[in-house]
Amino acid sequence: MKKNLFFYLFAVLCTVSLFTSCSDNDEPAVTVPVSANVAGNYKGALNVTLKMETGDVPAGNVPAQLVSVTDAGENMVDLKISNFSFSGMQLGDIEVSGCQLTDAGNGKYTFTATSSMDVTGLLSAGIKANGVFENETLTLDLDIDDVKLMGSPVPYTVKVTYSGTKLSGTESSEAKILSFVFDKEVAAVDSLVVGDVVINEESKTITFMVADTAKAEYLTALVPTIEVSEKATVTPASGVAQDFSNGKTVTYTVTAENGTTVEYVASISGNASFYDFESWSYGSTMYPEEQDCPILNGWACCNDAVLLIKKMGILGGITYEGEYPVRPSIDDVHAGEKALLLESVDTKGGNIFGTPVPKVTAATAFLGTFNAFGALGGDPMATTSFGVMYDKQPLKVTGFYKYTPGAEFYNANGELQAGVTDKCSLSAVLYEVSSEDETLNGGNIYTSDKIVAKAVFTNDKAVESYAPFELNLEYVKDYDSSKLYKFAVIFSASADGASYNAAVGSKLLIDDVTIINK
């Protein structure tokens, strides 16, 4: 409580001008060469200490504070402490006018001053200042004694010390934050920063996303590593933990070599889910003895349909022993050790007990559930239940992809379509539900009146190197946090594969996907 009162006090002092004047009791014996030996800009460390009966309490440390000294006439200078701040408080400039110098010999010049502050109804204080210029350095002591905040019987004493070196004028003026990163290896699991930190030079902001599972308690001590311009410094310093919980911002002040300062405001811009597709398992709930069917943990895919063809296809004269359409890529990734590989495969075509088997099974992975037996009723759309329950407002889905369309495109009747090129599809759909059991499938996922927002991207051109994609959801209804929603992200190597129109060998690679929420 006492420290907070002190902060308020000091703000008031700065607002009404810290000093009325500086003076020395003795007239100088000789003329001081102010312009040549004293005037200029000084940069150094400033410290503020609150002196109390129980001991000294540190109240602020600025390692690269700029003080400007200008010629104010014969043997006199004006001082200005620029952008004075401590303990996160920005108090503006402090000006010390008309300081008269005394030549102490050997290039040493001193000044002392006394003043008082009496703001009716607020506070009173006595002020003493001592300064020394010597060998292009400035040391300054400010004693603010017997500070009395009206209504409080306890007086305070504040000590401000400063030591700076005169700048030559050739120092760099660049004050930029070049990089701002978090060490994900040592951060708490729930507070991992998702994606890249964005430094906006125009707005001087630093924003980043955190995992949607991040708890406020884990965001109170995030430790950024900060790189700044050469010979510049930054406050708070790199490697110091900061509290970004509950919408808090942190202001970073970069001081260039010449004392120029630039402020950046860092904050969490939202939360996100990150999928790097590193987590896979193998097996099948339909056929427990099957041990080679890839399962993408957290996602649904069409592999169970192909497994069903492998197991039951013989009943319809169909033999398929090829690859599963959805599997991990270990030799072609954007980052990490694995990526998501979707490849539409030739499952021969035909039928099993009257249920059609497509000539080409389109490779598809999505958030939701897949029921391979759903198609046995004659409706292939019933195999997909798109979406998972979602209690946040998604804004966009980003990631990286590669694509190669297959050479031979077949229609639902298994007929080769000369001149038709397959295309991949990347989409995201948010829709309203009345219960967790309600769902959309391949037949209505893009047309239902339940849709609140969606984004669909398709491409029929080859993309040979990983390229970024961004699905920005377009809202057609207002989002209402009191309602229930499901959210689906769908990746397919063949955009019309749900209708059994696809090309053999169409291959889509997906990696490092981020769902960004408001």
Give the C-alpha separation, 69 to 116, whole Å.
22
**Token pair of 355, please?**
């249920």
**Token pair of 26, please?**
């003795």
Give the C-alpha separation, 277 to 338, whole Å.
6
Whether residue 491 is contained in a domain is answered as: yes
Whether residue 511 is contained in a domain is answered as: yes
Same domain, 291 and 236: no
Each residue's pLDDT tens digit, 182-210: 875 544 444 478 878 999 999 999 999 88
372 touches 383 (CB < 8 A): yes
Same domain, 381 and 477: yes
Only one residue has tokens 């590193």, namely 278
Give the C-alpha separation, 200 to 484, whole Å.
35
Model pLDDT, residue 5: 46
Whether residue 171 is contained in a domain is answered as: no
**Token pair of 478, please?**
């207002």
Q: How many residues does the chain have?
A: 518
Whether residue 275 is contained in a domain is answered as: no
Domain that holds residue 254: 177-269
Only one residue has tokens 């400007």, namely 68
CATH assignment at residue 22: 2.40.128
**Token pair of 344, please?**
């539409």
- The radius of gyration computed from the CA coordinates of the chain, to the nearest angstrom, equals 34
CATH assignment at residue 206: 2.60.40.2340
Give the C-alpha separation, 29 to 394, whole Å.
75
Model pLDDT, residue 379: 64
466 touches 509 (CB < 8 A): yes
- CA nearest neighbour of 166 among 75, 52, 229, 77: 77
Give the C-alpha separation, 16 to 455, whole Å.
56
- CA nearest neighbour of 401 among 269, 271, 506: 506
Same domain, 152 and 186: no
Each residue's pLDDT tens digit, 133-177: 999 999 999 887 776 655 556 677 888 899 999 999 899 999 999
Same domain, 216 and 81: no
3-class DSSP state of 183 = coil
Q: Which amino acid is at 453?
A: A
Model pLDDT, residue 506: 97
Q: Which residues, listed in sequence order, are joined to residue 374 by a DSSP beta bridge? A: none
Same domain, 340 and 475: yes
Q: What are phi and psi of 238, to 5 degrees?
A: -60, 140
Same domain, 254 and 382: no
Model pLDDT, residue 19: 46
Q: Please give the tally of structural domains in the chain.
A: 3
**If residue 10 lies in a helix (H) or strand (E), which one and from where to where?**
helix 2-15
- With a cut of 70, which residues of the chain have pLDDT below it? 1-30, 84-92, 114-125, 147-154, 184-191, 373-380
Model pLDDT, residue 157: 81
